[in-house]
Amino acid sequence: MSRDRLPPITLNREVRGWHKLDTDGFRAALLQSELCDVTKRPVSADEFFHLYHEVLQRLADQFAPVRKITIRRQYPAPWMDAECRQLRRKSRILERRYRRSKQPSDRLNWVEHERMRHRIHKAVYLDRYYSSCTPLMSSP
């Protein structure tokens, strides 16, 4: 089977949306829970750990419920080499920096790097493509 025809790589995961957590609501619910109730203190460390786990699990389920996602990845292109992977890694670092800071200068750095990366990828692809086709074109 050729590399072009392989099915995409899929991974099923369970995640929580921690970045969307209502911290004020979570704090209020935690302060009202039995974990912060001074009249109901566990006697042993095991009981305390059990209570801690139960309360935080319940609050996590309430404020950041688990959801199932499917991550789809494709196989890397046959012409991708170490330089292309390094450029992609650098692009993702710059993108994350921009998304965190929202600064125009960070966006400019990311966009300029993306444009350079695309030019290099195109050149590498064309070089590899034509170098693989040249022997076929010269044979009768």
- Whole-prediction pTM: 0.53
Q: What is the pLDDT along the chain (140 residues), one digit of tens a residue?
A: 445 566 778 889 999 999 889 999 999 999 999 988 888 888 899 999 999 999 999 999 999 999 999 988 877 777 788 888 899 999 999 999 999 999 999 999 999 999 999 999 888 888 877 776 655 555 55
- Which pLDDT score, from 0 to 100, does residue 88 have? 92
Please tell me the number of Cα atoms within 13 Å of 120 on its side-chain side.
16
Its domain, for residue 100, covers 77-138
How distant is the alpha carbon of residue 95 from its chain centre? 12
Q: How many residues does the chain have?
A: 140
Query: Does 127 reside within a domain?
Result: yes
**Contacts within 8 Å (CB) and 24+ apart, 35-41:** none
Cβ of 109: how many Cβ atoms within 10 Å?
15
- Written as six digits, the tokens of 89 are 């890694």
Q: What are phi and psi of 15, to 5 degrees?
A: -135, 160
Please tell me the number of Cα atoms within 13 Å of 96 on its side-chain side.
6
Judge if 56 and 87 occupy the same domain.
Answer: no
Mark which of 70, 98, 114 sits at the end of a domain: 70
Query: Does 2 reside within a domain?
Result: no
Residue among 116, 109, 112, 104 nearest 94 (CA): 109
- Written as six digits, the tokens of 126 are 């064309």
Query: Does 84 reside within a domain?
Result: yes
- Written as six digits, the tokens of 136 are 């076929």
Query: Does 4 reside within a domain?
Result: no
Query: Does 22 reside within a domain?
Result: yes
- Which pLDDT score, from 0 to 100, does residue 67 have? 94
Query: Does 1 reside within a domain?
Result: no
Query: Does 104 reside within a domain?
Result: yes
Judge if 85 and 101 occupy the same domain.
Answer: yes
Q: How many domains does the chain have?
A: 2
Give CA separation, 66 vs 24, 54, 57, in Å. Answer: 20, 16, 11
